[in-house]
Chain A
Amino acid sequence: MPKKDQQLQVLRYLVYLCGFLLFWEWLRPLEEISDTGSLPMFVLFTAVCFLLSALKLRWWLSFLLKLVLTAVVLQVILAEENLLSGSWVALFQDEIQTNLQLLFTGELALLTPFFRTLLFLILLWLMSNLLYYWFIIANRIFFFIIMTFVYIGVLDTFTPYDGSGPIVRIFVLSFFAMGIAAFTRIYQTGEKQQLPKRLLLWSGPLLALLVLSAAVGYAAPKLPPQWADPVPFIQKMSGTDKEEAGSGGVRKVGFGEDDSQLGGPFVQDNSVAFWAATEAAGYWRADSKDVYTGKGWERSRQVQPQSFQSGESLNLDLYQEDVVKEPREAIVYPNVNEVLDRLLYPYGTQTFFSDPVSVAVDSDFGVVETFNRSQYPSEPYTIAFDEPQYNIEDLRRDPGIEDQNTHNRYTQLPETLPNRVRVLASEITGSEATRYDKAKAVEQYFNQNGFQYRTQDVPVPEEDQDYVDQFLFDSKIGYCDNFSSAMVVLLRAADIPARWVKGFTEGQPGSNPNVSAPADMDSYVVTNANAHSWVEVYFPETGWVPFEPTQGFSNPAEFTSEDDAAPETPEADTPEPDQEEEAAAPQQEEQPQAEEAENETAQTETSTAISPIYWIIPIAVLLIAVFLLYLTRYKWLTAYYVHKYGKERSEETYEKAYDYLLRLLAHKGYKRQSGETLREYAQTIDKAYGNSRMTELTAAYERILYRNEKSEPLWENAVELWENLIKQAAS
């Protein structure tokens, strides 16, 4: 018979393997629906966890191995500190402490990548234990299979993830697993023992049938969905947004290349993009685009980078020679984990010192590309720039006559642009005389008229809807891309050349812990949440002047006026935004930009609903941990009680210990019937375990129970008996 048991075990492990493959399907979509990188690492980790569970090591050995494995994976993924150095322990402690605090205060969005990865690894670990329990011990697989189908179904419906491939794999895998499980049951009761032959006879046709039916199912014509798409329906029911429809994918904030499809909500990502030390804080420019398509921004031509030597002039030509400027310097420290292949630069940048990184520049678009950054991920680069000061009087005096090419290129608008945008543009700018005042009027327009800054619940334009038109007239809800695109389009509609610029805001004060910046510079930490877009308006005699239409942001560029008594700064111009948080934020005239930016970030964070993923992982870890504890409760409870009652000597000990024994035995399948006396029950137990321990233990217990004897001395004698019995029962 032991041979048969072994064979049954082999079959169970086969099902368990299917369980692992099914769980893999749970991990696959993560890359697509969340910012999970290093997926192969996680899959590998899961695989080893499954294997360790299957090896049936002693629990502490398995625990230790998994712990080491977790540390190794953390090390490989995050590569923060050397695993072997002592500082790792300190880092670990530090991380755990701060993050647990965040966890308890509910500020899940602020959890560090380290901790989130750790939580995720723990989740995978627990899942491996849970599946081991389901597949090997409890021999129940159906629930997990159903859950897998539901999971993929939900992802397919509510996220951009395409589940049509995975569902076929899951179908084959799960039905194969169920087939093997059924075979196991039949084999268990059967007499014959030729496992390999019978398994082959069973699984061969099974697989063939599965593959055939999957193929037929895949190829066969299918009816279109009979139910309405649940996403708009649910949104309609919950009243999230009437406008919101179509593919409502949640995007992530940060610097990206493709702006051809704008719209929709995004998640805040507070990971560091880079650190900077600068003499003058300002926006970090990265890119500009000139063609508005009605859906987003594209370029009129491909980027043509000219190779550039460190120290050469960049010819970015953002403004004319005669603009007042001040020479400044800045150093950018990239984040090694988030290597951008672009260099960020402040307004007025003259040149880079970026040995040994080689760089190419398209000065027209203002794109500075790097080629070999990945080899020098931590290499900082120094920027020499002339901080411009725009004279408002000069801007007002600007006749606004540029060459035809420039004019045509930067007043381009799609034919599909609804006419009401043009009407609105002339309404806003009609009463203004100069190009500067027109631009200011458009910039100010968004501060009134019911526009709201929001990153969540931002609708995606529908197929036939213009991105700007939708924002201006329908939703009036959006973030920087909406505001800046709308301003550019309105200006262009008013025949003012303008373009759309991307980059980062100045960030928050804070320095890179790993490097020491020069003392005379201000240090900033710029996160992906600081990614931003704004507007540049062309003034032929000054150049490209930045404007900031987005609510809650203010233009960091310096504007001066000849009338010194009343310096016309954008801050003075900008009325307080009408959001409550904004109104509450202090906004002094001479307040440093950085501080204001901080207010802004804080506001964004509080007003942004935290993405569910941040909640799901801690809650899932907790739930599964509780579930596993519950499943294994008799294991650890027994250990606990053996320890406790082994020492305890009191009147109630015998009773409590005996009571626990009854519960444990009941859990093991020896339930005492209500009309069964303890003696009869004890005889059943002893018969099952092949000794007379229970009868002996019960005889003494009867004296306590029915003779009212003192239990303490009896317990003294019975404790060893009880321990032996309980260990036998628990094993």
Chain B
Amino acid sequence: MTKLSTYHPAVTRIIENINKVIIGKQEPIILSLTALLAGGHVLLEDVPGVGKTMLVRSLARSVDCDFKRIQFTPDLLPSDVTGVSIYNPKTLEFEFRPGPILGNIVLADEINRTSPKTQSSLLEAMEEKNITVEGNALPLADPFFVMATQNPVDYEGTYPLPEAQLDRFLLKIQMGYPNAAEELRMLSSVDENHPITRVEPVMTKDELVQMQRDVTNVYMDRQIQQYIVNLAQASRKHPDVYLGLSPRGSIALARAAKAYAYIHYRDYVIPDDVQTLAPYVIGHRVLLRSEARYDGLTPEKLIQRLLEAVEVPVEKESVHER
């Protein structure tokens, strides 16, 4: 991650801003921004207390977006997510009270604790970019960015997200623990006020939307597209894989790679972008055969093997083909 050290100036501002409250964690920040700029969503999988909420909140504040949080519990209902119409005795009308999903940046905490019914209401919104409440279709805010978290340790009473749903997340990120030095710095910088108050917006919401639009204009050479396709094909043909990368996964990888290139202040994608993002994009989209899993194969190892096996395009052959 550190090898690509030149960032887009706006991105640099955001990173520096977030770094005021989060020490270290460069990788999740960059990846979150990648998903945000690519118009995708992030599934954060990690143990509690590593700064997931703080990451999302500081990110939302930096880009001047309103932040909503949904704590998923087993008894949470879909209407708790989308919002509900309540009868107002004064006006004698039903008034719509928007749910938390109508914010710009939504933290869906412990998404696997709630029932599939409620999960799907969120996931549907993520995919469709609008919600249907009492027969009325409501558009979601723009930008709209969901960061869902799930706890990998505690499985009791959880409803694991089905594969089809996982596919809706552009990236799946692990937060990870800070290293000793970072943790030490954390302790010494704790003060009275909630740290989030130190974070000021560094850009407007409109600027963010503009950046998202710019990302779609990043040039992706046919060779890179071919490379992504080759990776997808390889993942499907791999003997240890039960379910390979879906076409939606390929598109996700291409989108993410563009955003990643943009963050690194490039207007073209290089194979390194694809390689760096591959574990985060592909990891939660493939299913390994159980035999392979018993043999100790993990999606990360699988992706590593795929990246080693698939030829990186280094010659301008496709140009001549065209």
Contacts and interface: CB of A to CB of B under 8 A. Distances in A.
B269 A706 contact: yes
A655 B268 contact: no
Interface string A667-702: 000001111111110010000000000000000001
24 contacts: A655-B315, A655-B316, A673-B308, A674-B308, A674-B309, A675-B308, A675-B311, A675-B312, A677-B270, A677-B312, A678-B314, A679-B3, A679-B270, A680-B272, A683-B3, A702-B270, A703-B268, A705-B315, A706-B221, A706-B224, A706-B268, A706-B271, A708-B221, A708-B319
Residue among A662, A675, A680 with max Cβ neighbours from chain B (10 Å):
A675
Contacts of B267: 707
Interface of B: 3, 219, 221, 223-224, 267-272, 275, 307-316, 319
Given A659-B315, A707-B267, A677 B221 contact: no
Contact of A706 (B223, B307, B311): B223
Contacts of B307: 675
Given A677-B312, A707-B267, 5 more contacts: A677-B271, A683-B3, A705-B316, A706-B224, A706-B271
A704 interface: yes
A674 B270 contact: no
A703 B308 CA distance: 23
A707 to B, nearest CB: 4
A379 to B, nearest CB: 75
Contacts of B312: 674-678
Residue among A673, A678, A705, A708 with max Cβ neighbours from chain B (10 Å):
A705
Nearest to A659: B315
Interface in A116-152: none
B281 to A, nearest CB: 17
A562 B247 CA distance: 115
Contacts of A678: 271, 312, 314
A111 B41 CA distance: 84
B316 A704 contact: yes
Residue among A659, A679, A706 with max Cβ neighbours from chain B (10 Å):
A706
Contacts of A703: 268
Contacts of A655: 315-316
Contacts of A705: 221, 223, 313-316
Nearest to A701: B314
A678 B316 CA distance: 13
Contacts of B308: 673-675
Nearest to B304: A675
Nearest to B276: A677
B202 to A, nearest CB: 29
A679 B266 CA distance: 14
A708 B313 CA distance: 13
Residue among A672, A677, A702, A704 with max Cβ neighbours from chain B (10 Å):
A677
In the A-B complex, list the 6 residue pairs whose CB atoms are closest, starting with the nearest: A707-B268, A675-B308, A677-B271, A674-B311, A677-B272, A706-B221
Contacts of A683: 3
Contacts of B224: 706
Residue among B271, B275, B307 with max Cβ neighbours from chain A (10 Å):
B271
A683 B5 CA distance: 14
B221 A707 contact: yes
Given A655-B316, A705-B223, A679 B272 contact: yes
A318 to B, nearest CB: 87
Nearest to A704: B316
A600 B315 CA distance: 66
Nearest to B4: A679
Nearest to B312: A677
Interface in A637-684: 655, 659, 662, 672-680, 683
A628 to B, nearest CB: 30
Contacts of A675: 307-312
Contacts of A707: 219, 221, 267-268
A368 to B, nearest CB: 81
Nearest to B221: A706
A655 to B, nearest CB: 6
A678 B223 CA distance: 14
Contacts of A659: 315
A704 B271 CA distance: 13
A675 B270 CA distance: 13
A355 to B, nearest CB: 83
Contacts of A676: 312
Nearest to A680: B272
Nearest to B224: A706
B223 A677 contact: no
A677 B313 CA distance: 8
Contacts of B272: 677, 679-680
Contacts of A680: 272
A707 B220 CA distance: 7
A702 B269 CA distance: 10
A675 B307 CA distance: 6
Interface string A334-357: 000000000000000000000000
A683 B4 CA distance: 12
Contacts of B313: 705
Contacts of B275: 677
Contacts of B219: 707-708
A3 B254 CA distance: 56
A706 B257 CA distance: 13
Residue among B267, B312, B319 with max Cβ neighbours from chain A (10 Å):
B312
A655 B313 CA distance: 13
B131 to A, nearest CB: 39
A675 B314 CA distance: 10
Nearest to A699: B270
A704 B272 CA distance: 15
A708 B311 CA distance: 19
A659 B317 CA distance: 12
A662 B312 CA distance: 14
A705 B268 CA distance: 10
Contacts of A677: 270-272, 275, 312
B52 to A, nearest CB: 31
A678 B313 CA distance: 9
A659 B315 CA distance: 8
Nearest to B275: A677
B268 to A, nearest CB: 4
B259 to A, nearest CB: 16
A677 B308 CA distance: 10
B32 to A, nearest CB: 23
Contacts of B316: 655, 704-705
B246 to A, nearest CB: 22
Interface string A578-604: 000000000000000000000000000
Nearest to B320: A652
Nearest to A709: B268
A409 B235 CA distance: 102
Residue among A659, A662, A707 with max Cβ neighbours from chain B (10 Å):
A707
B79 to A, nearest CB: 48
Contacts of A702: 270
A352 B67 CA distance: 129
B278 to A, nearest CB: 11
Nearest to A673: B308
A673 B275 CA distance: 14
A704 B223 CA distance: 12
B211 to A, nearest CB: 20
Residue among B223, B270, B275, B309 with max Cβ neighbours from chain A (10 Å):
B270
Residue among B219, B223, B272, B311 with max Cβ neighbours from chain A (10 Å):
B272
B42 to A, nearest CB: 25
A613 B270 CA distance: 60
A705 B309 CA distance: 21
Contacts of B270: 677, 679, 702, 706
Contacts of A673: 308
A672 B311 CA distance: 11
Contacts of B268: 703, 706-707
Interface string A430-449: 00000000000000000000
Nearest to A705: B316
Nearest to B319: A708
